């Protein structure tokens, strides 16, 4: 799960697969395009319904998206955070 909010930049916090613990460090994105690309690569925008919900959350300046990471992607994210 990725939670995000806009504070002059897009700050993203991640929770583990069991939604029990957050990763130690957030990731920050300078542009909404990078945030969208990250969520898309992580499988968070796989359907039209999810993409529309994500776009509404961006307009609000905060929200969450469920990522569907493979083992390699999860390991890379955990290393980065």
Range of the domain at 48: 2-80
- The pTM assigned to this predicted structure is 0.86
**pLDDT > 90: percent of the chain:** 68
Q: What torsion do the CA atoms of 36, 53, 71, 73 make, to the nearest 10 degrees?
A: 10
The domain tally of the chain equals 1
Tens of pLDDT, residue by residue over 37-61, are 999 999 999 999 999 999 999 999 9
The separation between CA 1 and the C-alpha centre of its own chain, rounded to angstroms, equals: 7
Tens of pLDDT, residue by residue over 21-34, are 778 889 999 999 99
């Amino acid at each position: 799960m990725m939670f995000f909010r806009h504070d002059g930049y897009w700050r993203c916090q991640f929770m583990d697969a069991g939604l029990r613990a957050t990763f130690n460090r957030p990731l920050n994105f300078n542009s909404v395009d990078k945030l969208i690309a990250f969520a898309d690569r992580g499988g968070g925008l796989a359907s039209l319904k999810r993409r529309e919900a994500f776009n509404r959350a961006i307009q609000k300046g905060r929200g969450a998206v469920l990522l569907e990471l493979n083992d390699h992607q999860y390991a890379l994210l955990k290393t980065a955070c």
